[in-house]
Amino acid sequence: MSFQSNTILVALELSNSVWLVSTRLAGAQKSRMHRISAGDTTALLALFDRLRASQRPSEDPAPIACCFEAGRDGFWIQRLLTGHGIATYVVEPTSILVNRRAKRAKTDRLDAEGLLRVLAAYLAGDSQICSMVQVPTPEEEDSKRIHREREHLVQDRTRLENRILALLATQGIRSRPSLRNWERDLAALRTGDGRKLPPHLAAEINRLRRRLGLVLDLIRELDAERDEVLAAASEDPVASKITALRSIYGVGDNFAAVLAREVFYRPLRKSEAARELCRLGTYATSEWRHGSRPAHRPCRQCTCAKVAGSVSMAMASVSA
């Protein structure tokens, strides 16, 4: 959207109970604040209609530019407003420039007003004021669900395994029973002072083992679903990227899906691709200059936290 002098600016501060809507009409110096119930899109669209109606009858219909921060509400609001002809931007929250000289007051009202100023500066041509999120299509968003759910299950697996080891360690036992021969190995365990496992502790460990078995079954189920989706969509460009990435040493099935669907689903120039991948694992450097001493230091800005861990693990496995 090209910025027009008669553009009406709108910023949404979203929460679980109330949406604060900060608006500024074209040519106005001050913004106005509106409160609507969270999720009440009918009231939100009615507010936009009132903003348009506040113009002089002789004026052309003013375009509306709206923004909100990326978060737990996802992208459905952007799709709804875009479908009603409203240019909607999703702001990356951590990219907004802030004054770091002192502690800042923080309320929903101040956040909404600040977001409105960010939108005005961005539309005026200041591309450094923030970064806008590239909104995926519903199909692209849904295609990420398998590997994201798998990551949560892997975290659950690690948590359960660590819990079992921690409980055994309280009795002086340093090894975990084999899942294949669990009952036999658990019965054979002896504490550091030569006793059998206390009955309530053994029962708790058995329950943890059953939960661990369920998580492992779900991981295998997701792996099978991932392979089925890939085989059924062999002609899809993203599926081709996954197949190509899997042929690289050190890149497994899940990591290939993460890269293809979280990073390379959007177009990147060749000059950007290598650096973008390094930034995901915080391996890239940024120029740093102090006085006459130029230097480079590690770049800690990671564009996607979901990918950073996978990149770091893959690089560690390759170098091992």
Residues 44 and 124 in one domain: yes
CB distance 67 to 88 below 8 Å: yes
- Dihedral of the alpha carbons of 230, 154, 306, 148, in degrees to the nearest 10: 40
Amino acid at the residue 319 = S
> Does residue 213 lie within any of the structural domains?
yes
Residue 47 lies in a domain: yes
Same domain, 57 and 166: no
Residue 253 lies in a domain: no
Q: What is the pLDDT of residue 212?
A: 96
What was the pLDDT predicted at 69? Answer: 93
CA-nearest of 153, 204, 216, 151 to 180 is 216
The model's pLDDT over 76-100, given as tens digits with 9 standing for 90+, comes to: 999 999 999 999 999 998 888 776 6
State whether the Cα torsion 274-310-303-236 is positive or negative: positive
CA distance 239 to 84: 33
- Same-domain pairing of 130 and 17: yes
Same structural domain, 125 and 188: no
- Per-residue confidence at 1, pLDDT binned at 50, 70, 90? very low
- Taking residues 217-242, what's their average pLDDT? 89
pLDDT at 176: 86
Domain residues for 24?
A: 8-135
The answer to which of 39-43, 119-123, 130-134, 282-286 has the lowest mean pLDDT is: 282-286
Say which range, 44-48, 103-107, 174-178, has the weakest mean pLDDT: 103-107
Q: How far is CA 285 from CA 99, 263, 294, 295, 309, in A?
A: 24, 19, 13, 10, 18
Least confident among 154-158, 193-197, 275-279: 275-279
pLDDT band at 118 (very low <50, low <70, confident <90, very high): very high
126 with 31, same domain: the answer is yes
φ/ψ of residue 166, rounded to 5: -65, -40
270 pLDDT band, cuts 50/70/90, is low
The CA distance from 136 to 114, in Å, is 26
| Pick from 38, 36, 40: nearest CA to 22 | 36
Q: Are residues 26 and 123 both part of a single domain?
A: yes
Provide the token pair at 266: 């959007």
**Residue 36 pairs with which residues in a beta bridge?**
19
Tell which of 120, 135, 150 closes a domain: 135
Say what the pLDDT of residue 309 is: 61
Q: Which residue, 232, 257, 287, sits at the end of a domain?
A: 232
Whether the CB-CB separation of 231 and 162 falls below 8 Å is answered with: no
Per the DSSP assignment, residues forming a β-bridge with 69 are 91
* Residue 41 and residue 129 in one domain: yes
* Between residues 223 and 175, the one the model is more confident about: 223
- Total count of domains within the chain: 2
Within a domain: residue 227? Answer: yes
Residues 91 and 145 grouped into a single domain: no
Task: Write the pLDDT tens digit of every residue in 191-218.
Answer: 999 899 999 999 999 999 999 999 999 9
Looking at residue 257, its pLDDT comes to 86
Q: Which residue has the higher pLDDT, 157 or 314?
A: 157
Tokens encoding 189? 């365990």
Which tokens sit at 55? 């113009």
Residues 50 and 98 grouped into a single domain? yes
Banded pLDDT at 297 (limits 50, 70, 90): low
Contacts of 56 by beta carbon, 8 Å cutoff, 6+ apart? none
Clarify whether residues 73 and 87 are in a common domain.
Answer: yes
Range picked from 44-58, 106-120, 206-220 for highest mean pLDDT: 206-220
273 in a domain, yes or no?
no
Same domain? 18 vs 127: yes
Percent of the chain with pLDDT over 70: 78
CA 56 to chain centre: 42
DSSP letter for each residue of 253-276:
HHHHHHHHHHTTTS---HHHHHHH
> Taking a C-beta distance cutoff of 8 angstroms, is the pair 130, 122 a contact?
yes
